Amino acid sequence: MNIRKFESEDREELIALWRTVFPDSHAHNEPSLVLEEKLKVDDLVFIAQHEQKLIGACIAGYDGHRGWLYSVAVHPDSRRNGVGAGLVRHAVAQLKAIGCNKVNIQIRAANTTVIAFYETLGFDTEERVSMGALL
């Protein structure tokens, strides 16, 4: 497996992966729009490849104070092979390299499998209320 920064040639494969992994996303999370908007800000989009096939991806963000992980996705056929852990570790290392000292992620409360996955990577549940407003 190779983990690297997103390149423009990866666009269609990445969009297809996100649509496969997040089929119930809201309209504001349309993969093509998310990718377009993210790349206007920075290039902290990472992909995992195996045998020239895109099998995972992750967006990282850093606001100068905290880091975030978004849209961490592994193709269903490649799960439980270390792809997700590799992506998360890579993204966290990249964030740390630019000065980040705390990384957050939001997970749907009902997604207990994913919560357990992040716990194995050293993430803890913090007592917070997550709020949002669509603009």
pLDDT of residue 58: 96
Record the tokens describing residue 95, joined without a space.
């964030």
Q: Find residue 68's DSSP bridge partners.
A: 61, 104
Exposed, middle or buried: residue 115 (CB in 10 Å: 0-12, 13-18, 19+)?
middle
Record the tokens describing residue 85, joined without a space.
């852990």
Global pTM value: 0.89
Q: What's at 83, amino acid-wise? A: V
pLDDT of residue 94: 97
Q: Tokens 């998360």 label which residue?
A: 88
pLDDT by residue for the chain (135 residues), tens only, comes to 999 999 999 999 999 999 999 887 777 788 888 999 999 999 999 999 999 999 999 999 999 999 999 999 999 999 999 999 999 999 999 999 999 999 999 988 888 899 999 999 999 999 888 888 888
Identify which of 8, 50, 53, 52 has the alpha carbon closest to the alpha carbon of residue 32.
8
Record the tokens describing residue 74, joined without a space.
């592994």
pLDDT of residue 18: 93
Question: What DSSP line would sit under 72-131, residue for residue?
Answer: EEE-GGGTTSSHHHHHHHHHHHHHHHTT---EE----TT-HHHHHHHHHTT---------
Quick one: which H or E segment has residue 50? strand 45-50
CATH for 2-120, options being 1.10.760.10, 3.40.50.1820, 3.30.70.260, 3.40.630.30 = 3.40.630.30
* Distance between CA atoms of residues 85 and 74, nearest Å: 10
